[in-house]
Structure 1
Amino acid sequence: MANKAKGIVKLNADYSLRYTTNALVELEETLGLTVPEILVRFERGGIGFKAIRTIVWAGLIHQFDNGDGTYDFTLTEAGDLIDELGFEAVMEKVTQALESAFPESENKPNRATRRQGVTAKN
């Protein structure tokens, strides 16, 4: 089940995805892309396994935050978790968590607008 008000989606009894601001910054820094660029590629299915593993990792680090900018959870552990839980099941949960993190609003471009591509870097 998901707690959409908090943007939390449970993967299983031990792990839950949450795309906090810090998680999104880590995601951008690790992939070298802005969040809008990542979302466009994710929605189009044009994203590789390295990026998928990083997206899963970023959604999980809230549980492993040491409070000093480091995390007790690695990219390799994220990949192992994907293998353990199943790629399709994890991707479904990632999609739910990302949708919870970015609920539709009047000020946010809709999916069709985002699919046109992002040209500006932040």
Structure 2
Amino acid sequence: MAKKRIRIDMEDSDGARYDIKLEGNVTRDKVLKIFEMMDLMNIEEEETTTNIDSVGSKIWHIIDKFFPMGKFTSTNILEKYEDEFNEPIKLSVISTYLSRFSSKGRVDRTRNGREWTYQTIKISQKQH
């Protein structure tokens, strides 16, 4: 039987880093318990009124609101951005910001065919 391994790397607002590893019979319930523990430890940033006046902060707001754990593309962000803020934005601008977020370690970036996919929570799953 294949062994599953999930690793979650996090950093809180104080700069403390957390590395959680699950191995063996990893179920959805066990992963959800880890997220509940993170919530109890206040690892996720608390809801504060952030200043959404720059393009970068607006894009991050869209990511945080609509794609906190799932995968997304720059096109997904474009659609949500225009719906949320009722203003047009070029796809190249979104791609540039997503690339910057990736280089700063805020999102994972993976090549998927002809496009890049992004994910905010770093979960890697390997089978041995």
TM-score surpassing 0.5?
A: no
Between structures 1 and 2, the one with greater strand share: 2
Q: Provide the TM-score with structure 1 as the length reference.
A: 0.29
Between structures 1 and 2, the one with greater helix share: 1
